Amino acid sequence: MKSNISLKNTLILSLAAVLGILLGIGGGTLALWSDNTSGTGEISSGYEYFAAGRVDDTQAAKDKKASVSLGTAEAETLLKDGEVAVALQTDSLSQGNKGLRYELTPPDWSGGIFGASDVSVFRVRAPSECTVANTPTTAQDLRSTPVSAEYSETTDPTIEYWCVSAKLKDNGEVGQYENTATVTAEDPAGTKVEAKDSWNAKIRLGLDPKQEPNRDIVFEYETFRPGGAGR
C-alpha cells in the first residue's frame, strides 16, 4: 500500500511539473484538489490555476486572489492626454468536473487624478479593443465563468481580457478666471477717454501624478461542482 501511495504522489508531482512548464510557471503554483468522494461521471482529483495581470504578464493568484495596481504611470498619461486605457488579462484552468469562476472588484477611485475622471471597467475580446472610445455607456457585469464544470483534462488556460478606461472630466478644467481692467482719463482738450483690457485663463487640476496612490483591482476566483456549488 505504501508503494502505491508513493507512486501516486510521484505521478502527481511529475504532472504538476509538466503543467508548470506548459503554462510557463513553477509546478508549485498549480493547486491540486482531491475529493474523498466522487459521484458517477465525476473525477475526484484535478488541477486548478488562476492568474491575472497586464497582458502577457499575469501573476498567479495567492489564496484565490490576484491583483493589478494602477498608479503614477497611468495617472501621468491621464493628466497629459486627458484619457488612458489599460488592458488586463486573466488565465483560468480547472480540470476534472470542477468549473472556475471569478469576480473583479475595482478600487475606490475617489481622490487624485482618477477621482477627477470617469472610470469604467469592462470586458473586451482582445487587448486592441481596450480603448476609451469603446467604453460602454451602461454598468457592466464584472463576473465571469471561463471554465464550466464539464469534465476536462486540458492543460491550456482560458484567456480573457478586461479594460480599465479613464477620461478626465471637462478635460481636467475645474474653472475659469477672467478679469477686466478699466482706465479713464482726460485728454488735453478735456475729453474723457476710457480704455479697457480683459484677460482670462482656464484653471486646471493642480494635481501631481507622483502623489497618485496605487489602486488595486482585485480578481477573486473559486471553483465549483456541477450544479453550481462553489468552494
Question: What beta strand segments (E) does the chain contain?
Answer: 31-34, 45-54, 57-60, 65-70, 83-94, 99-105, 117-124, 143-147, 158-168, 173-186, 192-204, 215-224
- On whether both 186 and 76 belong to a single domain, the answer is no
- On whether both 55 and 98 belong to a single domain, the answer is yes
- 104 found inside a domain: yes
Q: Give per-residue pLDDT as tens, 50-108.
A: 999 999 999 999 999 999 999 999 999 999 999 999 999 999 999 999 999 999 999 99
- On whether both 187 and 120 belong to a single domain, the answer is no
Tell me what the mean pLDDT of segment 130-137 comes to.
98
User: What pLDDT was estimated at residue 116?
Assistant: 95
- On whether both 216 and 182 belong to a single domain, the answer is no
What whole-number distance in Å separates Cα of residue 117 and Cα of residue 218?
20
Segment holding 216, helix H or strand E: strand 215-224
Contact 102, 58 (CB under 8 A): no
Residue 212 belongs to domain spanning: 48-172+207-224
Q: Give per-residue pLDDT as tens, 176-191.
A: 445 555 667 665 666 6
| pLDDT class of 120 with cuts at 50, 70, 90 | very high
Share of residues in the chain with pLDDT > 70 (%): 63
User: What pLDDT was estimated at residue 46?
Assistant: 72
- 103 found inside a domain: yes
- Count H helices and E strands in the chain, helices first: 3, 12
- On whether both 184 and 99 belong to a single domain, the answer is no
- 29 found inside a domain: no
- 134 found inside a domain: yes
- 137 found inside a domain: yes
- 30 found inside a domain: no
Q: Give per-residue pLDDT as tens, 195-225.
A: 666 544 334 456 899 999 999 999 999 999 9
What whole-number distance in Å separates Cα of residue 160 and Cα of residue 55?
10
The total of structural domains in the chain comes to 2
User: What pLDDT was estimated at residue 51?
Assistant: 98
- On whether both 134 and 192 belong to a single domain, the answer is no
- On whether both 194 and 94 belong to a single domain, the answer is no
User: What pLDDT was estimated at residue 175?
Assistant: 43
- On whether both 67 and 179 belong to a single domain, the answer is no
Task: Find where cell 489602486 sits.
Answer: 215
- 118 found inside a domain: yes
- 15 found inside a domain: no
- Torsion angles phi and psi, residue 116, rounded to 5: -95, 20
In this structure, the strands spanning 117-124 and 57-60 are: unpaired
- On whether both 183 and 215 belong to a single domain, the answer is no
Cell of residue 70, nine digits: 494602477
Cell of residue 61, nine digits: 493568484
Q: Give per-residue pLDDT as tens, 10-52.
A: 344 445 555 555 555 544 467 765 654 444 444 456 789 999 9
Terminal alpha carbon distance of the chain: 31
- On whether both 146 and 54 belong to a single domain, the answer is yes
